[in-house]
A and B are shown apart, each in its own frame.
Chain A
Amino acid sequence: MAERMQICNLSENNFEQCTKCSICTTVCPVAAVTTDYPGPKQAGPDGERYRLKDPAYFDKALKLCLNCKRCEVACPSGVHIADIIQHARMSASAGHHASLRDTMLANTDLLGTMANLVAPVANATLGLKPTKLVMDSVMAIDKHRTFPAYSRQKFTTWFKRHAAKQQDAFPNHVSYFHGCYVNYNFPKLGQDLVKLMNAIGYGVHLLEKEQCCGVALIANGLYKQAKRQARTNAASIRKAVNMDHRTVLTTSSSCTFNLRDEYPAVLKVDTTDVRDGISLATRFIYNLVDEEKVKLVFKQDYKRRIAYHTACHMQRMGWQLYSIELMRMIPSLDLQVLEQNCCGISGTYGFKKENYERSQAIGSILFKDISDAQVEAVATDCETCKWQIEMSTGLPVENPISILADALDLDATRKANGID
C-alpha cells in the first residue's frame, strides 16, 4: 500500500521530487552571468507551480535558458528541470509565430541547401562586413559571429558518387544519421567516419530518408515543424534498426540526444523502442574494441597535444568516457580532459544579437581553461561548440572521429580486421 502510494505520486518530469535545495541554480551557466535569468529552480519547478494554477503565467526570462541540461545532471532528486522549462516555453509559444531570423537560423537544412548551391558566393557574402552589418541590424544576428563555411558539395552527394557502391561488400553494416552540419558544412567528418568504419569491416549506409533532427527548431519554438521532421526520422530509423538490423550511428552529440531523448520527452514522438539502436559513433566503436570484436592500429608518430571539451548534451548522456577512452588509445596523443563548463553557444542561441554578450561570458571560463591547457587543438563531439570555441580561442576544433581517422594506420587496421 505504502509503496503504491509512492508510485502513484510520481508527477510528470519528477516535478514533485524537488526539495528546493537550489543545487541546480549553482550550476546554471546562464544564472551565473546574468540577473535577468532567475535560474533553473525558479524557472523550472517553482515557476511550474504558478503555471499549473494559471496557464497564462509565463516568464519571458525562460527564453534565456540554453537547454544545456546541466541543472538536470546536478539535481540530486532527479527532477527533469530543463524539460519542465521546455514544456513551459512550448505551451507559451502556441499561437505565436517565430521571427524570420529564428526561422532562418532554425532551418539548418533549408539554409544549407540554398547555401550549398552557391557556396563560394554564400561564404564570401556571409563573411563580408556589409552583409554582417545588415544581418546584425535587420536580422539581429550578431556581427561578431562567423557563419560556418558551406561546403561546395554535400556529404550525401559525395557519398552517392564515391562511396555508396562499395558499402555492401563489407561483412557488417551500420546506418549513418549524418545531420545537417556534416551534410552542408563539413562533409569531411562524414567521410572520416566512412573511412574508419570501412577499415574495421563495417559498411556505412544512409537512412531511407533523413531530415534535420530539429534541435534548432525546438530551441527556436518551431515545434510543429520539429514534430513533423521527428516523425520522418523516427520512421527511417525504425526501418534501419528493425528491418535492416543496423545500428544508426551519429557523429553529433546534440543530434544523438535529440533523437534518443528529446523526441519522446519534448516532442512526444516516441523513439523509445529504437533508442538502443541509436548510438554516437565513438560509443559504438569503443564497445566493439572493448568486446574485442575489432582492432584499431594507430600510427606511432601521431604526436599531438589536444584538449577534450565535454559538450553539454554529451555530459547529459554521460557518454564522454567513450570518446575520451578511444582517443586515449592513440599512443602518442597527449589528451587533456577539461573541466565540464558550457561554451555558451548552445546551438543557435549565441548567434542572436541579444544573446551574444551573455554567450561569450558563459564561455569565458572554458576559454581560459583551454588557453591554460596549451594545446594545439580541441576535441569535442558537438558542432556548435566547435564554432564557438574556434571563434573564441582561435584554435582548431575537431571531432574525435576525425582525430581517430587521422591517427589510424589504415592499412594495418584493415589487415588486423581481415579486410582487403
Chain B
Amino acid sequence: MRMDTVIMGGGLSGLACGISLAKRGKRVAIVASGQSTLLFNGGSMELLGHVNGKAVTNPLEAIATLPESHPYSKIGADRIASLAERIKLLFSDSGIEMTGSADANHWRVTPMGVAKPAWLTLNDHLRIDDLNNLPAKRLALMCIRGYFDQPNAMLAQGLRDLGFEVDMIEFTTDDITALRRSPSEMRATSLAKHLVSNNALRRLADQVNSLAGDTDMVLLPSVFGQSDSSDYQALQAMAKKPVRLVSTLPPSVAGMRMMTQLRHYFRMLGGTYLMGDTAVSGTFEGDRLTSITTAKLADMPLKADNFVLATGSFISRGLRADYERVYEPVLGVDVDADADREQWTHFGVLQPQAYFGYGVATDGNLHCLKQGKPIQNLYAIGSVLSGHDAIKMGDGTGVSLMTAIAAADHIRESK
C-alpha cells in the first residue's frame, strides 16, 4: 500500500503531524500501538517550564538561550512564535479550547497542588495567570467520596500555600455511589463515563450548589467529558458559581478527551489511523526508507514518500534499553545515549536522570541518522528525540507539537 506519508506512533506528536499533512490533502496513515502519554496529561501544554532549575516566565526569550542540541534550536528559535500560533489554530480546529501565549507562561495546578508553568491550558481547567492576582479568593474544593485519585489534603494544602482560602467539601450523588461497587475501578475515566446524562449532572450541580456556601469558585476533579467539553458546559450552566476542573492522577480525562478530538479531526480530514497496530521494521535503500512493516499487516509493506518516527520515549517503547545498550527498536536508527551503563541513572528517584535526555539522533532538519548518515525521507518528532527533558525542563508537549509541525513543513517542501 502506498501513502504520501506514514507516521509511526499515534500520540500527540504523531497526530499533530498527521493533521497538519492531511489538511493539505496528503494521504497519511498513522500506525498507533495502544494509548499514548497524553493519558498522563493534566489539561495543559508546556513550551518551556524550567531552565537551570528556575521557572521560566517568557518561554520565547528563554528558548533563544537553549543549546544547539535542543529540538527547539534545530527548528530555529525565531520560528517558535509563528509555529505557536499555528498550533493554537490546530487545537481550535480540532475543537480543543485552550488559552495561553508563548511569551508569557501561566500556572497550572498538579493533582498534588503544585503550581507549574504552562503555555496552554484547557478553558475548563484551573489556570492562574498571575500568582499575585489569583482568579478567586475562596475556593470550594469538592471532594468526591470514595474517589482516591485526587489526594485532597495535599491539594488543599498546595492551594493554601498559593494564597487561596480553601473549604474542603466532601460530597457524593447516587450516580457516584453506584460506581463504588467496584472501588478499584473508580477512576477519573469511569466517573466521566457515568457523569454524562443531564440527570446525573443535574444531581451533581444540586449538590455543588447546596454545599459551596460563600466561596467564589468551585473546584471539581477533572472527571467530565471524555470526548468533548459539553458535559462540563452543561454542568457550568446549572451551577451557580464558576466551576473549574483540577487534574487528577492518571488515567486523565482531559488527555483522553484531547486524544479523541485530535483523532476524530484527523479522520475527518481523510487520515487513516491504524489503532492497535505496531510498526516492526523498515526497508532502507541507500539514504531512504522505502517501506515499513506492521505486526498486523504483515504481508503488506506500507510504502510512502516520507516517514515520521513518533514512537515516544521509553515508557511508550519508542526507545528500549537492555543490559548493554539503549536503542531504537523499529528501524535501528542512531540514538544519543551514554555507552557506559553506569551513566544512565543516578541514585535517588528525584535526582535528574541522564536517560531522560536520551533519544533518537537527528540532523538540523530532524532527519534520523543511521550509522551517522541522515535518512532523507525519515523524520523524528516528539518524545523519541534526544536533547530535551519533559520532567526537568517542562518542554515535553511543546517539543512534541513544534517538531511535529516543523517536520510536516519539511515534508511539504521536500520533493
Contacts and interface: CB of A to CB of B under 8 A. Distances in A.
B335 to A, nearest CB: 20
B185 A38 contact: yes
Contact of A42 (B1, B179, B184, B323): B184
Contacts of B316: 76
Contact of B275 (A26, A41, A276, A340): A340
A306 to B, nearest CB: 15
B296 A317 contact: yes
B34 interface: yes
B241 to A, nearest CB: 29
B35 A76 contact: yes
Nearest to A369: B264
Given A315-B275, A318-B277, A25 B34 contact: no
Interface string A19-46: 0011101100001110110110110001
Interface string B286-312: 000000001111011000000000000
Nearest to B323: A2
A31 B190 contact: yes
B187 A25 contact: yes
Interface residues of B, number: 39
Given A287-B299, A318-B297, A325-B1, A74 B185 contact: no
Contacts of B272: 321, 324, 337
Interface in A304-339: 315-319, 321, 324-325, 337, 339
A355 B33 CA distance: 31
Nearest to B302: A321
A350 B209 CA distance: 40
Contacts of B299: 276, 287
B178 A316 contact: no
A3 B322 contact: yes
Interface string A327-360: 0000000000101100000000000000000000
Contact of A31 (B185, B256, B322): B185
Interface string B164-195: 00000000000000110110110101100110
Contact of B184 (A23, A46, A72): A46
B276 interface: yes
Interface string B186-219: 0101100110000000000000000000000000
A339 B261 CA distance: 11
A23 B182 contact: no
Given A23-B39, A39-B190, A339 B34 contact: no
A73 interface: yes
A408 B301 CA distance: 26
B70 to A, nearest CB: 28
A25 B295 CA distance: 24
Given A315-B276, A317-B296, A75 B267 contact: no
A340 B297 CA distance: 18
A321 B34 contact: no
Nearest to A78: B34
A339 B184 CA distance: 29
A22 to B, nearest CB: 5
Interface string A272-299: 0000100000000011001000000000
A214 to B, nearest CB: 23
Contacts of B39: 23, 26
Interface string B19-39: 000000000010001110001
Nearest to B271: A337
Contacts of B95: none
A72 B274 CA distance: 14
Nearest to A39: B185
A35 B184 contact: no
Q: Which of B35, B187, B267 has most chain A Cβ within 10 Å? A: B35
B329 interface: no
Interface in A30-74: 31-33, 35-36, 38-39, 41-42, 46, 72-74
Contact of B300 (A23, A32, A46, A290): A290
A74 B263 CA distance: 15
B193 A318 contact: no
B261 to A, nearest CB: 11
A242 to B, nearest CB: 18
A337 B267 contact: yes
A74 B178 contact: no
Contact of B276 (A2, A38, A46, A318): A318
A23 B250 CA distance: 9
B296 A32 contact: no
Contacts of B294: 318
Contacts of A46: 184
B276 A321 contact: no
A39 B39 CA distance: 18
> B34, B251, B263: which has the most chain A beta carbons within 10 Å?
B34
Contacts of A42: 182, 184-185
A42 B186 CA distance: 11
Contacts of A2: 322-323
Contacts of A287: 299-300
A41 B186 CA distance: 12
Given A38-B185, A290-B1, A23 B35 contact: yes
B296 A26 contact: no
Contacts of B322: 2-3
Contacts of B275: 73, 315, 318, 340
Contacts of A76: 33-35, 316-317
Contacts of B295: 318
A21 B194 contact: no
A57 to B, nearest CB: 15
A321 B297 contact: yes
A180 to B, nearest CB: 26
Nearest to A317: B296
A287 to B, nearest CB: 6
A73 B273 CA distance: 13
Nearest to A289: B1
A72 B322 CA distance: 26
A36 B182 CA distance: 9
Contacts of B34: 23, 73-76
A35 B300 CA distance: 42
Contacts of A321: 1, 29, 272, 274, 297
A38 B182 contact: yes
Interface in B72-109: none
Given A31-B190, A74-B35, A76-B34, A21 B251 contact: yes
20 contacts: A22-B250, A23-B39, A26-B39, A26-B251, A35-B182, A35-B194, A38-B184, A38-B185, A42-B182, A42-B184, A73-B275, A76-B316, A286-B1, A286-B300, A315-B276, A318-B276, A318-B295, A324-B272, A339-B260, A339-B264
Closest 3 CB pairs of A and B: A318-B296, A73-B276, A76-B34
Given A23-B251, A74-B34, A76-B33, 13 more contacts: A21-B250, A23-B34, A31-B185, A35-B181, A38-B185, A41-B184, A42-B182, A76-B34, A76-B316, A316-B276, A318-B274, A319-B296, A321-B1
Interface of A: 2-3, 21-23, 25-26, 31-33, 35-36, 38-39, 41-42, 46, 72-76, 276, 286-287, 290, 315-319, 321, 324-325, 337, 339-340
